Every structure is written in structure tokens, then in C-alpha cells.
Structure 1
Amino acid sequence: MLNKRMVSVLLRSLPMLSLLPFSLVCGPAQAAELVVRLGFSSPLSGPQAPAGKDSLNGVQMAIERLNQQGVKVDGKVLRFELLIKDDKANPQTGAVVAKELVDAGVKAVLGPFNSGVALATSKIYNDAGVVSLTVASNPKVTQSALNHVFRIAASDSEMGSKMALYAARNLKLKAVAIVDDGSAYAQGLIEEFQKTVRQNGVQIVYKAAISDKETDFSGVLNNIRAARAEAIFFGGYVSQASGMLKQMQQLGMPTLLLGGDALCSSVMLTQAGTSLGDRTYCVQGGVWLTRVSDGAVFASAYQSKYGSMPDVYAPTFYDGVMLLAQAMKSSNSIDTRNFLPVLARLRYKGITASYEFDAKHDMKESTVTILRFKDGKLAPLSSF
């Protein structure tokens, strides 16, 4: 039996026991676990918040699955943790967020979402030895000197040029207008679109530059109507595109609206309403989710978990986490110096795309899908 002196000694030792590593208190099973901290950077507030939250959902689904699977590296089970940051789609905020994630010791960052933020942060991540997996489409985001930066979606060179080909060959347009919101995203997209439409005999009859805060498009739209443009190619995001569509409806303009992947969002349905009609087209990287078996399974799981269908980039960010896990598993290491070269040469079949990177860490094969809003939903038209 314990005497009073022994009980007293044991009670005094409890605070000390609570400070010991859990593995020493509870045995060797817990010691065989390695924590891998990942970061996430995308807009979680402001007009682009729906896109950021959709992307975050994809990341979290992947992390939950990996933690359930108990992936092992060097004989130890990996436990993935996520540090979430709202970069507000702002390059200055993104730079602050990047430094916070680096200081927190993340191995890799899923994001940024926006080209402007990616251009402001890619060197920060690269210099710190942190891998960045971004969907930012501006071609300047990936450079051979930034070997820690990977683009896991199609670039503007693919999306802008292939939307231009569809406009010329399938829609048989002869005259288009271009509206530029001034963002880094718009810059790359518009450059590729206008180069390719001109090569295919389409005339650009009007160009306008607007602020990304613009809400009154009447002047620009009247000029577009006067120029007899059959379609508007808009380089920008959902909030302005939906406002433009409403004003086009008010003006009685039958003009088509074309855009990049930022417009391939269910948010367009709620914000633009009836003004969408069947005249709005967008282009998205990868094969459309419901056209591949893995995509249908992912969509069903996403809807069960979040109560809605996935939007543009949830499956891509899900794949991004899986890419990292595969690189760590294949290199048998969570040290960036070891898994980075493996990631660079990895071949991985994801939900809607096959991932393999070129020397600049762009995807070697970048299939895109042209979509159209029709009857209250996004309908895939062509993948090439």
C-alpha cells in the first residue's frame, strides 16, 4: 500500500509528467508519427471568397483521406496538418501571408489562387525552400529559376489560346471586343486570346481597360455595341462579369460573353441570374469533373460533405495534396531537399488531369474544357 509520503511524491510529479513528450508517457506507438505541416493561401473573404473556400474544401478532403490512410515514410505514419491563410486576392496581403507560412515551418503551400498574389509570393516561397503548388495562370508565375514553384493547372497560354480557337472555329465569330480588369490574371489571358483570334481571322474591334472595382459598364458596353462586336472577351472575375451581364440585359445587347476559368463558377448562377441566358462561355483546365469516373466519385463525396457540388478548383487542390504525399512517399522523406526532385519528375493521374511537369514546372499536358452556362447550369462542350 502507498503511504502518505509516496502519494505526496507522486502528486508532485504529475505536472512534470504532463510536460513529457506524449510518446514517452504512452509508449512507442505514438513516437512513430511524423507531423507534416502544410499551408493554404487563397482569398477567403471579399468577392473571390467562394473560389477560395471551394479550393480549401478540396485541400481539407485530401488531408482527411491521407490521415485516415496512415501514409508511411521511413517507417513512420504521416499526420498532415493545415495552416489556413486568407490572402484576400491581394498581392501585398499575400506577401505577408507567405512570410507567416514560411515562419510557421510549412513544408509546402497549396496556393496562391490568383496570379497577382502568386507573382508577389513565388520568390518568397522559393527562397525559403517551401514548395508552392498554385493554379495561378499567368505564364510569368513559373520560371526556371524558381524551382520550388509548380503550376498544377493549365496556364493562360492554354486557356486563352484554346478559347480563341473555339471562338473562331466553333462559334465562327468575326468581330470581338476585349475588356481588361487590369489584373495579372487578365494580362496573361488576354495576351494569349488576342494573339490566337487574330491568327484565325477574327478582328478585335474594341478594347477597354477598366478598374477591378468598376461597377458601371454602360459606357464601355455602348462603345462595344457601336463597334458591332459579336462577343466580349472579359479578363476578370465573377463579381464584375455578373454585373456586366446584368447591364447587357438592360441594354438589350445579345452579345456573347467569353471568359477564362475564373468565370467557370457556380457563383455566376447566383450573381448573374437570368442575365446569364445561354450566351456565357468559359474555359477551365482539365477534363470536366462529371466526364471522368474519378471525378464523379469526388463530386459525390464533396456534395455529401459540404452540401453542394464542387466548383472550379476543389479537385485540383485535392490533387495537389495527393501529389505532395506521393512525392514524400516515393522519396521516403518529408525533407523538401529529398522530395522536391521526386515531385519534379513525378507522373501522377489525378481526378481530372494527369500531372507531369516540364523544366519550368508547368504541366506537360494541359487539356482544357470549354463550357457554357445553359438552363441554369454549366454544360461542358469540348475538351482538347
Structure 2
Amino acid sequence: MKMSAAALLLALGSTAFAAPVEVKIGFAGPLTGPQAHYGKDFQNGVQLAVEEVNASKPTIGGKEVKFVLLAEDDQADPRSGTVVAQRLVDDNIAGMLGHFNSGTTIPASKIYARAGIPQIAMATAPAYTEQGFKTTFRMMTSDTQQGSVVGSYAVGKLGFKKIAVIDDRTAYGQGLANEFEKAAKAAGATIVAREFTTDKSVDFRAILTKLKAQAPQAIFYGGSEVQAAPMARQIKELGISATLISGEMVKSDNFIKLAGDAAEGVIASLAGLPIEQMPGGAAYVAKYEKRFGAKVETYSPYAYDGAMAMFMAMKKADSVDPAKYLPALAATQLQGVTTSRLGYDAKGDLKEGGITVYKVVKGKWEAMESIGGK
């Protein structure tokens, strides 16, 4: 007696041939506009993790699952960020990887928290994890960690005693500048001026002319490369001898390209170790370049580790239900690309908070010193 194909499938059991269950994961960052290269770097790290995990054909809750990334452009804008967040929640995501900017992450985090959806963000502003939510986690060290380390380093190691501080009034820029200022003061420096601009400004001559009269040895800027590059050029044009110092959004090849000769001597900090010294750095660079045909920038290794932490938590909890895997995420102990001991404290901040200080020397970023972290 012959058996039809349909009958054969039924006899063997349909579950043996069932398609993987799709699990939606949210992603958001600036994918257009002046910060798009940050967002793409961020997205690539997440995408690489998704593809690697899917290739392993993971089984969770007795079923093969396939992670599907729902990517949204939040345009680095707080209003767009909340719209995107609500859309992703309505799409029934099981977890959120993003946002990028602190200014978009913080208002969006309230939406994810209300929905009980774990969120691992690139945002570094202290306020993100100080809201009391159980759902907020970081991919990078906070500004409290970074700003305090750089402030102490600028005074204690570099010898700057008279420092001016400028920030762009974003949650990121202001938060980083505040922490830098506190640490620099505590180390014995005098803050000769505190000035403010915006993340849209490109002309800083009025501010810098006023600062020139104070004769600062260093100017700390809390903000991105888009403003830091013209600021560096105008510092040089005005004959100000102060060294420009900033955070990780300035530590990019694009800053050097935009600032030209004025980039020389600029100092910037970045979370963690230089990629060639990261525990999984060499292997990550090889697979990243093979997959995307581009060099690793700043953020993708941290994005990759954050995504892997979420996927491993789901695997450990044997569930993609946010309420069920959230405790496993909070208890993460992962050997990642960026650190051999990735884990979170009670607020969701990274336990390991190392910082590396870089300087532009002959047109390239060179590591000066790595402080803390493993």
C-alpha cells in the first residue's frame, strides 16, 4: 500500500518539519543624519550576534527558534525615540537592543519598562539606570565611570590645573561633562569656566574667545565629533593653546577627517580596552570584516556582547518570555569579546568599567593608557 506525501508527513510527526518559531528582537539607533555611522556600527554588532546565534539553530522551550531583528531609525531624536519604542512594543518584541543616544534611550526606557521588556542600551548617561527600573542594562560603562576616570587622569597624569568645560546640553554630553568636572575638581584642578552649546552648533568662536581670556590649559567637551571637529579647528584658529579633551563619541576616524590638522594632540576616552587587547578582539575583527567588508569602528563589539548576553539569558531560562528570562539576564556571567567577565550590578551597569585614554598622534589615534577593567 502506497502512502501519500501528506500522510507520510503526518505519520512522521509535523513537529519534525516545523519551521523555527520566530522571536522578535527590537533595535533602534540613528540610522540617518550626522550620527548614522555610529548607528550602523551599532547595528552591525547586533546583526552579527543574531546571525551567529541563528546559525546554531537554538532550541528554547523545546522548540527551535529564529531571532528576527526589527530595526528602527530613531534619528537620535527623543520624540522619534518614543514613537519607535511604542511601535516595537506593539510589535511584541521579546527584548530590546538599543537605543544609542542617552537622550533617546532614557524616555524610551519608560515605555519598555511599562511593558516589562528587558532593554540593553548603548547609552552612557547615569540617569538611564538610576530610574529604578529592573529592565535597564548597559552595553558600555556609564559616564559616571568614564568622566570620573578622565577627570582624574587629566589632572593627575597630564598635569592640567586650569580647565574649561563645555557641553552640548544633551543627556550624554552634559552628564559626561558633569562627571569630568567633579573628578577634575576633586583632583585639585580649577574649572575656569563652564559653557554650554547645542548638538546642532558649528560656530564656537564666541565661547572660545571668552575662554581664551581665562587661559585654560585644557578644554573638556561633552558631545559628539560633529561639534568637536569644528571646535578643534576654531581653537587652533584663535591661537588657544589649550588641549581639547572629550569622550568616546569623538574617538573616531571621522573626527580626524573632519578636524584635519587641528585633530593633532586631541585626547579622548573610550570604554574598555583597545580592540587588539580585548579578550575576543582579534577573532571579532576577523569575522566582522568578513561579514561586512568594513573595519570595526567603536561600538559594534559592545553591541555584539550585549546581544549575546540577552540571547544567553533566554537560553539559560529556557524561555523567551521577558518576565522569565529577565532574572537570568540580571545574573549574567559571560565571557565576551570586550571583557572576560561581562556582568551587571543591581542597577544594570556593567561591573567591569575599564577606560582607555587615546591621543591623536600624526593623524592617528594612539592609546595612552588603559585604566581598570579586564
Q: TM-score range by the shorter chain?
A: over 0.9
Give the drift of 1:311: 1.4
Give the AA of the match of 1:246.
Answer: R
Q: Name which of structure 1's ranges 55-64 and 374-383 shifts more when overlaid on structure 2.
A: 374-383
2:24/2:92 contact within 8 Å kept? yes
Q: Aligned in 2, Cα 1:160/1:227: closer, same or farther, shift over 3 Å? A: same
Residue of structure 1 in register with 2:310 after alignment: 324
Give the AA of the match of 1:187.
Answer: Q
Give the drift of 1:362: 1.1
- Please give the residue correspondences for 1:221-240 in structure 2 after superposition, counting only pairs within 5 Å: 221-240=208-227
SS class of match (2:368): strand
Which residue of 117, 124, 142 corresponds with 1:130? 117
2:139/2:306 contact within 8 Å kept? yes
1:118/1:141 contact within 8 Å kept? yes
Give the drift of 1:211: 2.2
Cα shift readout 1:267-297 (whole Å, capped 9, x = no counterpart): 21222222201x2111111222111341122
User: Does the alignment pair 1:62 with 2:49?
Assistant: yes
| Distance across 2 between alignment mates of 1:143 and 1:23 | 54
Give the AA of the match of 1:234.
Answer: Y
| Distance across 1 between alignment mates of 2:144 and 2:257 | 29
- Please give the residue correspondences for 1:103-142 in structure 2 after superposition, counting only pairs within 5 Å: 103-142=90-129
Q: Aligned in 2, Cα 1:25/1:273: closer, same or farther, shift over 3 Å? A: farther
Cα shift readout 1:232-254 (whole Å, capped 9, x = no counterpart): 10011110001111222222333
| Distance across 1 between alignment mates of 2:318 and 2:131 | 26
SS class of match (1:349): coil
Which residue of 331, 334, 337 corresponds with 1:351? 337
Residue of structure 2 in register with 1:312 after alignment: 298
| Distance across 2 between alignment mates of 1:307 and 1:222 | 44
Gaps of 5+ in 1: 1-16
**4+ long deviations beyond 4 Å:** 22-27
| Distance across 2 between alignment mates of 1:379 and 1:302 | 22
User: Does the alignment pair 1:258 with 2:228?
Assistant: no
Q: Name which of structure 1's ranges 226-235 and 349-358 shifts more when overlaid on structure 2.
A: 349-358
Give the number of the structure whose alpha-carbon radius of gyration is greater: 1
SS class of match (1:355): coil
2:21/2:65 contact within 8 Å kept? yes
2:146/2:355 contact within 8 Å kept? yes
Residue of structure 2 in register with 1:274 after alignment: 261
Which residue of 80, 95, 100 corresponds with 1:93? 80
TM-score (norm 1): 0.90
Q: Name which of structure 1's ranges 291-300 and 200-209 shifts more when overlaid on structure 2.
A: 291-300
| Distance across 1 between alignment mates of 2:222 and 2:128 | 17
| Distance across 2 between alignment mates of 1:106 and 1:77 | 17
1:139/1:188 contact within 8 Å kept? yes
| Distance across 2 between alignment mates of 1:77 and 1:267 | 42
Which residue of 134, 145, 150 corresponds with 1:158? 145
- Please give the residue correspondences for 1:293-312 in structure 2 after superposition, counting only pairs within 5 Å: 293-312=279-298
Cα shift readout 1:281-324 (whole Å, capped 9, x = no counterpart): 11111222111341122122222333332111100111111111
| Distance across 2 between alignment mates of 1:30 and 1:205 | 70
| Distance across 2 between alignment mates of 1:23 and 1:366 | 55
SS class of match (2:130): coil
User: Does the alignment pair 1:76 with 2:63?
Assistant: yes
Cα shift readout 1:330-365 (whole Å, capped 9, x = no counterpart): 111111111100110111121112321111111122
User: Does the alignment pair 1:373 with 2:344?
Assistant: no
Q: Name which of structure 1's ranges 239-248 and 261-270 shifts more when overlaid on structure 2.
A: 261-270
1:288/1:352 contact within 8 Å kept? no
User: Does the alignment pair 1:35 with 2:25?
Assistant: no
Q: Name which of structure 1's ranges 359-368 and 68-77 shifts more when overlaid on structure 2.
A: 68-77
> C-alpha root-mean-square deviation of aligned residues, in Å?
2.0
Cα shift readout 1:85-124 (whole Å, capped 9, x = no counterpart): 0111111110000000001111111111111111111110
TM-score (norm 2): 0.92
Residue of structure 2 in register with 1:169 after alignment: 156
Residue of structure 2 in register with 1:182 after alignment: 169
| Distance across 1 between alignment mates of 2:306 and 2:17 | 27
Residue of structure 1 in register with 2:349 after alignment: 362
Residue of structure 2 in register with 1:287 after alignment: 273
- Please give the residue correspondences for 1:202-241 in structure 2 after superposition, counting only pairs within 5 Å: 202-241=189-228
Residue of structure 1 in register with 2:3 after alignment: none
Q: Aligned in 2, Cα 1:372/1:307: closer, same or farther, shift over 3 Å? A: farther
Gaps of 5+ in 2: 1-5
Q: Aligned in 2, Cα 1:221/1:143: closer, same or farther, shift over 3 Å? A: closer
Give the AA of the match of 1:217.
Answer: F
| Distance across 2 between alignment mates of 1:29 and 1:328 | 23
SS class of match (2:298): coil
| Distance across 2 between alignment mates of 1:26 and 1:226 | 81
2:217/2:242 contact within 8 Å kept? yes
